[in-house]
Amino acid sequence: MEDPLALVFLTAAATLRVATPLILCAMGGLFSERSGIIDVGLEGKMLMAAFFSAAIAAVTHSAWWGVAAGIVAAEAMALLHGLACITYRGNQVVSGVALNILASGLTIVWGNAWFHRGGQTPALEGQGERLLPLFFPRAGDSILVYLALLAVPITWWVIARTRFGLRLRAVGEMPLAVDTAGISVAWLRYRAVLLCGLLAGLAGSYIAIAQNAGFTRDMTAGQGFIALAAVIFGKWRPFPAFGACLMFGLLDAIAIRLQGVRVAGLEVPVQLIQALPYLLTVFLLAGFIGRAVAPRAIGQPYEKEH
């Protein structure tokens, strides 16, 4: 039996570890969605970033090159999304779903062609190729965990206190008002989408080279969608969204601890426990948290009538 303090510490650490990609991804999604661009493609961005960060880290033996590659990959996806949604005014959900499918397929095809390991990348060695814990080896506190914690107040500050944030909020509510104020709607939204790519890239890199030691197929396993749910949960506000990410992280950490637990003499199926966070998402989103008010212009391409 571990002592209670250690248990609390380890659970908290596990929560944070699991929540880190969610937080980074949710902050990214928040920028995109506050600008009026729905981002269903968070999952695909993370997956693409996970693949490239693991692949490049393996090839260059440098975690930092891996992170850089992850960011570039996610930004490429973000640009594609921007091109489809902003420049060509396509359907944002369709574009996001397409990017997810694209990422899922391409990562495996490229992985196979590159490393011949059934879509996986070579296992990363600890020294230099992975982002290792900084202070507490058992807690897994890599630098990206701290970055995720910092990302929340920074996101809040940018949105609430800066010119860019004001315009971002405005363009998500009423792009026509932004246009008539002499501000470019497209450029504003592109910047939001690129910020989203940056953060999703960090999230994907974290999953591949900090949380794990390499890429496996579809390794993001729906975390992009959970992050998206956290954004909606948090009513498109940074701190509440952060709270939602922590809650999902905690549920996940508990789920891991609960494996093999017996209730009334019956073993609780692992699948049920693993499904808990998702079940809860459905229940909570189905009205438990009250009506979430989305940015008014979300999902609508901006078109002048001529």
Partner 1 sequence: MTAAIELERIDKSFGSVHAVRDVSLAIEKGAITGIIGENGAGKSTLMSILYGLYHADAGTIRVDGQPVRMESPHDAIAHGIGMVHQHFMLIDSFTVLENVVLGAEGGPLLAKGTAAARSELERLSRDYGLTVDPDAVVAELSVGEQQRVEILKVLFRGARILILDEPSAVLTPQETDRLFRILATLKARGVTVVLITHKLREIMAATDRVYVMRQGRMVAVRATPETSPEELAELMVGRKVRLQLDKAPPHPGEVRLRAEHLGLIDRRGVRLLDDVSLELRAGEIVGIAGVSGNGQTELLQVLSGIRPPSRGTLTVCGRTIDAGHPGDPAEMRDLGVAHVPEDRQRQGMVAAFRASETAILGYHEQPQFSRTFLLNLPAVGAYCAKLMERFDVRPRVPGLRSSSFSGGNQQKLVLAREMAQQPKVLLVGQPTRGVDIGAIEFIHRELVKSRDAGCAVLVVSVELDEILSLADRILVMFAGKIVGEVTSGRADERTIGLMMAGARAPALGGAEGA
Residue 260 per-residue DSSP state:
T
Give the separation between CA 39 and CA 50, rounded to whole angstroms. Answer: 18
Least spacing, CB of residue 93 vs partner 1, in Å:
24
Least spacing, CB of residue 188 vs partner 1, in Å:
11
Q: Is 303 in the site for partner 1 (CB under 8 A)?
A: no
Nearest-5° Cα angle at 46, 41 to 51: 130
Binding residue for partner 1 (CB under 8 A) from 17, 34, 130, 167? 167
**CB 53 within 8 Å of CB 69:** yes
Least spacing, CB of residue 170 vs partner 1, in Å:
5
Q: Is 87 in the site for partner 1 (CB under 8 A)?
A: no
Find the part of the chain contacting partner 1 (CB under 8 A) among 31-39, 120-128, 182-190, 195-203. Answer: 182-190
Judged by beta carbon, residue 276 or residue 298, the one nearer partner 1 is 298
Closest by CA position to 212, among listed 53, 15, 105, 71: 53
**CB 170 within 8 Å of CB 177:** yes
Least spacing, CB of residue 37 vs partner 1, in Å:
17
Give residue for tokens 């699991």: 18
Least spacing, CB of residue 91 vs partner 1, in Å:
22
Judged by beta carbon, residue 184 or residue 259, the one nearer partner 1 is 184
Judged by beta carbon, residue 93 or residue 298, the one nearer partner 1 is 298
Binding residue for partner 1 (CB under 8 A) from 68, 131, 178, 195? 178
Q: Is 174 in the site for partner 1 (CB under 8 A)?
A: yes
Judged by beta carbon, residue 123 or residue 177, the one nearer partner 1 is 177
Give the separation between CA 94 and CA 110, rounded to whole angstroms. Answer: 24
Judged by beta carbon, residue 259 or residue 300, the one nearer partner 1 is 300
Q: Determine the residue type at 164.
A: F
Cβ-count burial 222-246 (b if 16+ within 10 Å, e if not): ebbbbbbbbbbbbebbbeebbebbb
Q: Is 185 in the site for partner 1 (CB under 8 A)?
A: no
Binding residue for partner 1 (CB under 8 A) from 150, 154, 177, 221? 177
Q: Is 287 in the site for partner 1 (CB under 8 A)?
A: no
Number of amino acids touching partner 1 (CB under 8 A): 23
Judged by beta carbon, residue 84 or residue 170, the one nearer partner 1 is 170
Which secondary-structure segment (H or E) carries 202? helix 185-206
Give residue for tokens 């190729």: 129
Q: Is 170 in the site for partner 1 (CB under 8 A)?
A: yes
Cβ-count burial 33-57 (b if 16+ within 10 Å, e if not): bbbbbbbbbbbbbbbbbbbbbbbbb
For the record, the structure tokens of 144 come out as: 């990206």
Footprint on this chain of partner 1 (rule: CB under 8 A): 161-167, 169-170, 173-174, 176-184, 296, 304, 306
